[in-house]
Amino acid sequence: PAGRAPTRNLQTHEGYEWFYVLDGHVRFILGEREFSLGAGEAAEFDTRVPHWIGSADSRPAELLALFGAQGERAHLAPAGH
């Protein structure tokens, strides 16, 4: 949803996550770093690192997310490979 602010304590848990931004703009905080991602961009990360994901502006953002509780990584390859 739009207008959600990051919590004071970022989330951590076992596993590995991958997400792809379908629509809107996403604010992604990972540890001490902050990223802004738009439609068509993706991120993958170890969920043991403190993190937060939310809309970057007044519009909602839509994501496709994959999560592996045992820490498996999602491996991406360009089309045709």
Which DSSP string do the residues of 7-48 spell out, in sequence order?
PSS-B--SSEEEEEEEESEEEEEETTEEEEEETT-EEEEETT
pLDDT by residue (tens digit) across 2-25? 877 776 678 888 889 999 999 999
| Burial class of 36 by CB neighbour count within 10 A (0 to 12, 13 to 18, 19+) | exposed
CA 31 to centroid of chain Cα atoms: 12
What are the residue boundaries of the structural domains of the chain, listed by start? 16-68
pLDDT by residue (tens digit) across 21-75? 999 999 999 999 999 999 999 999 999 999 999 999 999 999 999 988 765 555 5
pTM of the model as a whole: 0.79
Fold of 16-68: Jelly Rolls (2.60.120)
pLDDT by residue (tens digit) across 66-76? 988 765 555 56
